[in-house]
Amino acid sequence: MLPMKRLALIFILFLAAVSERDVQAQTVDAIRDYTMVIEPLSTECDRVRIVGDRCGPMLSVVYIGEGLSGRRLFTTLVAQPTTTFNNGGSSTTMIRANVFSGINGGANTATLAVADSNTATGTQVHAAAAACEDLTYDGYDDWHLPASHESVSLFQARAHFGAVATVWTSTEIDQYHASAFNVSTKVLTRQLKNSSYPVQCVRRDSASVVASVSCDTVTALGQTCSNGNVVYAGHGVSGDSLFTTSFLLPVATFNSGGTSISMIRTNVLSGINGAANTATLAVADSDTTTGIQIHAAAAACHTMSYGGYSDWYLPGAAEAVTLFVNKDSLPVKTGIIWTSSEVSQSSARMFNIGTGAVTSASKSGYSPVQCVRKQTVPGLAPPVNCGNVTTNGGSCAGGSVLYVGVNDTEKRVYTTAFKFPSAFWNSGNTTSSTMITTGRTSQTDGEANTAALAGADADTTTGTQIHNAASICNQMSVGGFIDWYLPAIAEAEFLYANRAGLPAIGAIWSSTEASQTAAISLTALGARSTLGKATEINVQCIRKEDALPP
Amino acid sequence: MSRFLKYVLPLLMTSALAATSVHAEVTLHLYGYAGEAVDAVIDWGTPEGNAGCQRIVKGSGQTITCALTQEGTSVRVSGVVPQFGPGEFAPSGNTVSRVVSWGSVGLKSLDGAFRGNNRLIAVPITVPTTVVNLNRTFQNASTFSQNLSTWGMALKNVTSMTDLFDGALSQTTDLSQWCMRNFDEKPVGFMGRSAGRYPLMHNIEKNHPRYGECGVSLPANLPGNAEITIPFSFNLKSGLQIWSNAPSQTTVNLVTFDVVSGALPPGLTLDPLSGVISGTPTTVGEYAFKIRVRQN
């Protein structure tokens, strides 16, 4: 029996080997039945696919791309005749309709079409809006006069229809003026309502646009998603991934265009939290004139639905730094845009994408708008580990954080790989008598200074005015860290002393207060300098953690 | 002697009968299949069984019952057994409670193998790739609940599964990764002939087999409609799904595509490597075709 058992065991092993080879040679395959229907070329506008495609029974309706209200947009092959925004009446008889939306031309048109444009007896139509409202063109009767920003689709598709230079929009500015849009240059201008321009009516598709490529899947800076015109702009400074459009919206005013005397202060001052700023501005009255006057730039982003997303907002002044830092990988590399950060009753902050500089400007000034949105993209979360960086200037957390060195309290100090644009130490208020003494005079404890300043009113003016520089550091989330603060003056000097591996920092604010009206800054040469709190210089946030054990 | 050694230990079954008597009865159906004869030797596992029961089966095959086995006894069958089961017309199949190994007896058919067997507890977690016939294998085995999802890719050569789980009421096997390359549609009675005979997985849609597919799935649909003169493009690869039990070397980079029947609409072509159907349709009409994807 013994020889037979041994032979049997050998045979089992041989069988196993055969079985394994059989699996290795496995083929995978699949067969599936498909049916395709090839149809005659349709004239229905719901079926068009490519910008410039024509539809309608006479093929004279032109698809001009996805609009800013979440629907596909069409226009007429030929513009409607020249007419006035109002009925042609003179300035003295004009009526303010309070139709300000830059996005929702359909609602604007519906309102204007029934609103009296003139104080003369009887109802005088708004001629340009009525021209679209009453239009039946190539089988469609749902036309409207495009709103100011909605008109950007006309600019983008101008090669595909008989575009004329300047056309009316349905966006009013004030009692006497409305916006006209130059289809060739994308410029909005302020025109008297009794001026005459052609009308380029548009209509919207019936179905909402759905993002064809989810922005959850982006992996690289500058990568497009959604409809191909939504771009990943990099890690934002509020912790999420930031997205923007591949184009600037046309110019707009920060407010509705009202003059300084009637402007309203909103106290929307955050440099970091543009989403909250925008939500507040979008419903706040910008002007003491009768009725609600919108904040045009913020409202444009707030009401925009584009690429399948409707969570767009106007970035805060400091938040916009991402658009500058990563501009080389983004389609929009220049432009002075509105931010959602107010300065005062009459001014707000603009951001220069090309230089990273922030300036203040009158709310009634015109500047382009660059809407952004943020979302968490799991694959883009920066690795939160900076403990292994030991070289001055060494980067971590996805490159957004730099190691500075170990300070005299044995803490490892880090800063951001970028500097924030210039900011006020206070909210920008220049009236000394209303400034508030905070008592945050520590020269070494920036962490405590910042925490206190971020929660303190900077000004006795009605409402709460933030301490701008400290709030930027206090609110930001970069590299996965949320413990940033504005350095006290001695900590700023530590930064300067270890500047060898760091990018040029320049003059920066410290969190150390000097008096009711002044705080201490560090010059580009490393010297202390006491400056008025409403001075604008850069902000360089830092954070610290326990040093590694030896 | 040398012939016996050649086929030693190919099929191993364990008898664990419910009877408490010293002796228990086992019925085996050992048959030829598709012209191939059976040539088997049975080791009944007990001296009494081997002395008192038939041990040699040759030719077209036969059904053998041995009443001299014992509870817990292992019965071994060696040689050539093309079909382990009675086929279509017998009311019941083998009465074993476990099959420990299929061995290598050239098994091609399990037709009716465990039909009506309410003792059956377990069979091997895979099945020989030589098997082509699973007709009635578990029909009416109403208490058999073993998960057979691991048989998936080993079924690549099976061509018939009529009434496979008809009346196998306790079955919950996830069949979604069973290789069904030889089936355009559900075999008759595959998951029960009628209400009351359906296995439990009948009502779990996601666990149903994917007919015509083995290790890889094509997109469920193409864009259904296109228009003449409008350029059309669709990438089959982008919707391709590799099954988790596919061979490890399977990758979308190595698959090829072809049209195996019917024809694409005039003007459209299929790139065999990229899997892109593209072109400009030229002729109005409805076009049906089958597309195959495979990796050898």
Domain CATH number, residue B271: 2.60.40
Q: Which residues of chain B does A54 touch, with a Cβ-Cβ cutoff of 8 Å?
A: none
Nearest to B290 among A15, A31, A47 (CB): A31
Task: Tell me which chain A residues have a C-beta less than 8 angstroms from the C-beta of B129.
Answer: 22
- In this structure, the answer to whether residues A222 and A370 fall within a common structural domain is yes
CB B153 to CB A23 under 8 A? yes
Task: Taking the CA atoms of A235, A237, A240 and A245 in sequence, report the sign of the dihedral they define.
Answer: negative
pLDDT of residue A17: 30
Q: Which residue of B has its CA nearest to A25?
A: B296
Residue A122 touches chain B, beta carbons under 8 Å: no
Pair A184, A251 in one domain: no
Q: Domain for residue A13, yes or no?
A: no
A28 touches chain B (CB under 8 A): yes
* Exposed/middle/buried for residue A248 (C-beta within 10 Å: 0-12, 13-18, 19+): buried
**Along the 550 residues of chain A, how does pLDDT read in single tens digits?**
333 332 222 222 223 333 334 444 457 999 999 999 998 877 888 878 789 989 999 989 999 999 999 999 999 999 999 999 999 888 888 998 889 899 999 999 999 999 999 888 788 889 999 999 999 999 999 999 999 999 999 999 999 998 789 999 999 988 899 999 999 999 999 999 999 999 999 999 887 887 777 898 888 899 999 888 999 999 899 888 999 999 999 888 999 887 778 899 898 988 999 999 999 999 999 988 878 888 999 999 999 999 999 999 999 999 999 999 999 999 999 999 999 999 989 999 999 999 999 999 999 999 999 999 999 887 776 666 788 888 999 988 878 899 999 999 989 999 998 888 889 999 998 999 999 999 999 999 999 999 999 999 998 988 889 999 999 999 998 888 999 999 999 999 999 999 988 888 889 999 999 999 999 999 999 999 999 999 999 999 999 998 766 5
Q: Which of A31, A45, A47, A50 to mutate to test the interface with B (most CBs of B within 10 A)?
A: A31
Residue A10, in any domain of the structure = no
Token pair, residue A74, equals: 């069409």
Residue A399 placed within a domain:
yes
DSSP A344: S
Closest Cβ–Cβ partner in A24, A32, A36 for B265: A36
**Would you say residue B201 lies in a domain?**
no
Chain pair A-B, CB pairs under 8 angstroms: 134
SS (H, E, C) A247-269: CCEEEEECCCCCCHHHECCCCCC
Name chain A contacts of B153, Cβ cutoff 8 Å: 23, 26
∠ CA A538-A541-A544, nearest 5°, is: 155
Distance from CA of B182 to the nearest CA of A (A): 10
- Across B200-225, b (16+ Cβ under 10 Å) vs e yields bbbeeeebbbbbbbbbbbbbeebeee
Task: Tell me which residue of B169, B163, B128, B126 sits closest to B148, measured CA to CA.
Answer: B126
Q: Are A374 and A243 in contact (CB under 8 A)?
A: yes
Q: How far is B156 from chain A (nearest CA, A)?
A: 9
Q: Please identify, among A328, A360, A378, the residue that sits at the C-terminal boundary of a domain.
A: A378
* Least confident segment among A341-350, B199-208, B217-226: B217-226
Q: Across the interface, do B215 and A18 touch by the CB < 8 Å criterion?
A: no
In a domain, residue A29? The reply is no
CB contact under 8 A, B289 and A12: no
Residues A441 and A531 in one domain: yes
* Inter-residue contact B36 to B108 (CB < 8 Å): yes
Instruction: Give contacts of B284 with chain A, Cβ < 8 Å.
Output: 38-40
- Tokens, residue B226: 């296109």
| Residue A112 within any structural domain of the chain | yes
Q: In what order do the strands lie in the sheet with A241-245?
A: A224-225, A230-235, A241-245, A372-375
Query: In chain A, how many domains are there?
Result: 3
- Does the residue B32 lie in any domain? no
Chain B residues within 8 A of A35 when measuring between CB atoms: 224, 286-288
| Residue B80 bridge partners (DSSP) | B39
Contacts of B278 in chain A (CB under 8 A): none
Nearest-Cα distance to chain B for A31, in Å, is: 4
A348/A372 same-domain check: yes
| A215 in the same domain as A193 | no
Residue B207 domain flag: no
Q: Which two tokens stand for residue A123?
A: 């109802």
DSSP A45: G
Element (H, E) at A64: strand A61-66
Best of B3, B183, B227, B256 to disrupt the A interface by mutation (most A CBs within 10 Å)? B227
Is the same domain home to A508 and A439?
yes
Q: Are residues A74 and A203 in the same domain?
A: yes
Does pLDDT of B5 surpass 60?
no
- Cβ contact (<8 Å) for A29 and B104? no
Q: Is A26 on the interface with B (CB under 8 A)?
A: yes
Please answer yes or no on whether A29 and B287 come within 8 Å at the CB atom. Answer: no
* Residue B195 pLDDT exceeds 80: yes
**Residues of chain A contacting B293 with CB distance shorter than 8 Å:** 29-30
Which structural domain range is residue A162 located in?
A: 45-207
A10 touches chain B (CB under 8 A): no
Q: Which residues of A touch B222 (CB under 8 A)?
A: 34, 36
CA distance A79 to chain B (A): 27
Task: Note whether A18 contacts B: Cβ–Cβ < 8 A.
Answer: yes
Q: Does a structural domain hold residue A517? A: yes
Does residue B232 sit within a domain? yes
Backbone angles phi, psi at A342, to 5 degrees: -80, 155
Residue of B nearest to A53 (CA): B230
- Among A107-111, B24-28, B230-234, the range with the most confident prediction by mean pLDDT is A107-111
Distance between the two ends of chain A, CA-based, in angstroms? Answer: 70
Chain B neighbors of A36, CB-CB under 8 A: 222-226, 264-265, 268, 286-287, 289
CA distance A11 to chain B (A): 8
Q: Say if residue A340 is in the same domain as residue A477.
A: no
A1 in B contact zone (CB under 8 Å): no
Cβ neighbour number for residue A96 with a 10 Å cutoff: 17
Domain that holds residue B224: 216-294
Query: Is there a domain that residue A127 lies in?
Result: yes
pLDDT of A166: 96
Whether residues A456 and A327 share a domain: the answer is no
How far apart, in whole angstroms, are the C-alpha atoms of residue A329 and residue A417?
17
B237 assigned to some structural domain: yes
Indicate if A417 and A492 belong to the same structural domain.
yes
pLDDT band at B35, cuts 50/70/90?
very high
Residue A324 has what pLDDT? Answer: 94
**Predicted local distance difference test score (pLDDT) of residue B168:** 97
Count of structural domains within chain B = 1
pTM score: 0.63
Instruction: Determine, yes or no, domain membership for A16.
Output: no
CB–CB contact A15 B226 (8 Å): no
The residue among A60, B221, A63, B287 whose CA lies nearest residue B279 is B287
Residue of B nearest to A50 (CA): B230
Residue A423: closest CA among A470, A371, A370: A470
Residue range B93-110: average pLDDT? 92
Give which of A12, A21, A34 to mutate to test B binding, by max B Cβ within 10 Å: A34
Task: Give Cβ neighbours of residue A314 (< 8 Å, ≥ 6 apart).
Answer: A274, A277, A278, A281, A297, A298, A300, A301, A302, A338, A339, A340, A369, A371, A372
The distance of A142 to chain B (nearest Cα, Å) reads 26
Domain boundary among A172, A207, A242: A207
Does residue B233 lie within any of the structural domains? yes
pLDDT of residue B12: 47
Do residues A304 and A435 both lie within one domain?
no
Chain A residues in contact with B9 by the CB 8 A cut-off are 8, 11-12
Nearest to A38 among B8, B10, B287 (CB): B287
Residues of chain A contacting B185 with CB distance shorter than 8 Å: none
Q: Within a domain: residue B71?
A: no
Beta-strand relationship, B225-227 and A28-39:
parallel
Q: Are residues A55 and A196 in the same domain?
A: yes
Subunit contact B217:A30, Cβ cutoff 8 A? yes
- Higher pLDDT pick, A379 / B249: B249
| Distance between B18 CA and the closest CA of chain A, angstroms | 31
Query: Would residue B196 count as lying in a domain?
Result: no
Contact A37 B224 (CB under 8 A): yes
Distances (CA, A) of A218 to A222, A223, A480: 9, 6, 18
Pairing of strands A28-39, B232-235: unpaired
Of B171, B187, B296, residue with least CA distance to B246: B296
Give B291's contacts in chain A (Cβ within 8 Å).
Answer: 31-32, 34
Nearest CB to A30; choose among B5, B212, B230: B212
What ipTM, to 2 d.p.? 0.84
